[in-house]
Amino acid sequence: MANSRFEYVKQFERENYLLPDTYIIIRVDGKGFHKFSQHYQFEKPNDARALQIMNRAAHKIMSQYSDVMLGYGDSDEYSFLLRRGCELYERREMKLCTLFASLMTCYYQFFWREEYGEEKRLDEDHLPVFDGRAVVYPTFNHIRDYFSWRQVDCHINNLYNTTFWNLVIKKGMTPQEAEQRLMGTVAADKNEILFSELGTNYNNEPEMFKKGTIYVKEYEEDYQVVSEIGLTPRQKQRLEKKRKKAKIVQYHIDIINDNSWWDSKPWLME
């Protein structure tokens, strides 16, 4: 584009390049999904089909971007781990955040239609949209703690919601009464209420609800875990080719305490 006297306005733009040689996590979260889930009459506490829509969207994103090594999601959120050496969009924060939020938004709508067809049509006043943010972390310990944080959040919310909705559905409590009943209770109390008052053993709830969903890239055995710093462009290309061949494997497991699960995937650390 030829220079024009208007071009100076470009100088007002500011760009944040995410710190090099750090892990990037991008988290997307549905906007106003509390209302959204009411409007489309999600099953409470967990609508499994809605969770699968999230999962399929996340899986699609991971299959398209070789830099994404791991995804973790529950409720209306998903976190994606980008490898340390990631150079996608020169690590420009705005590009990455807006890209992931819009990928999630459009795939969610696409898979919604696939899942529900005419059964639940999206209407223009209640469309699903997602926001996105990026955070960089210096060590893999931070990454483990980050995903532990999200999984603990999933657990706390799910235990609360499971108890809350069982009180409403099985005991006919109003939402206010159920909220009142749960005020000040700790996890053990909720387990007990579920078990002795509501005939539900929390342990037997589906793993996807209790643990969330983990997608991880798994490679052929010959994928070497090396830092890319100092590699020639050709060597980098070869690694990229291998990354593209990764399989995406799904888990619903405890990622907080299972060290051997993490240890068996050293490529995540790069």
Contact residues for ligand ATP (CB under 6 A)? 29-34, 37, 42, 44, 46-47, 50-51, 75-76
Residue 242 interacts with, from Mg ion, ligand ATP, none (CB under 5-8 Å by kind): none
Task: Give every strand in the sheet of 213-218, ordered side by side.
Answer: 130-137, 23-30, 77-82, 68-74, 213-218, 247-251
Least Cβ distance, residue 78 to Mg ion (angstroms) = 10
> Which residues, other chains included, contact 116 with Cβ-Cβ below 8 Å and sequence gap of 6+?
49
Residue 181 interacts with, from Mg ion, ligand ATP, none (CB under 5-8 Å by kind): none
Residue 251 interacts with, from Mg ion, ligand ATP, none (CB under 5-8 Å by kind): none
Residue whose CB is less far from ligand ATP, 46 or 105? 46
Least Cβ distance, residue 36 to ligand ATP (angstroms) = 7
Instruction: Give exposure, 32-43, as e/b (b: 16+ Cβ within 10 Å).
Output: ebeebbeebebe
CA 265, CA 218: separation in Å to the nearest integer?
Answer: 8
Candidates 30-38, 145-153, 176-184, 190-198 — which segment interacts with Mg ion by CB under 5 A? 30-38
Least Cβ distance, residue 23 to ligand ATP (angstroms) = 23
The residue among 132, 108, 110, 26 whose CA lies nearest residue 70 is: 26
Least Cβ distance, residue 231 to ligand ATP (angstroms) = 26
Residue 51 interacts with, from Mg ion, ligand ATP, none (CB under 5-8 Å by kind): ligand ATP
End-to-end, the C-alpha distance of the chain in Å comes to: 40
Instruction: Give exposure, 50-84, as e/b (b: 16+ Cβ within 10 Å).
Output: bbebbbbbbbbbbeebbbbbbbbbbbbbbbbbbbb
Quick check: helix, strand or coil at residue 114?
helix
Residue 55 interacts with, from ligand ATP, Mg ion, none (CB under 5-8 Å by kind): none
Residue whose CB is less far from Mg ion, 67 or 74? 74
Residue 103 interacts with, from ligand ATP, Mg ion, none (CB under 5-8 Å by kind): none
Is residue 211 within 8 A of residue 72, CB to CB? The reply is no
CB neighbours (10 Å) of residue 96? Answer: 24
77 counts as binding Mg ion under rule CB under 5 A: yes
Least Cβ distance, residue 76 to Mg ion (angstroms) = 4
Residue whose CB is less far from ligand ATP, 51 or 178? 51
Residue 47 interacts with, from Mg ion, ligand ATP, none (CB under 5-8 Å by kind): ligand ATP
Work out the burial of residue 105: count CB atoms within 10 Å of its CB; fewer than 13 is exposed, 13-18 middle, 19 or more buried.
Answer: buried
CA 56, CA 63: separation in Å to the nearest integer?
Answer: 10
* Residues 189-228 as x/- pattern, contact with Mg ion by CB under 5 A: ----------------------------------------
Peptide bond into 138 cis (omega under 30): no
> What is the contact surface with Mg ion in residues (CB under 5 A)?
29-30, 33, 75-77
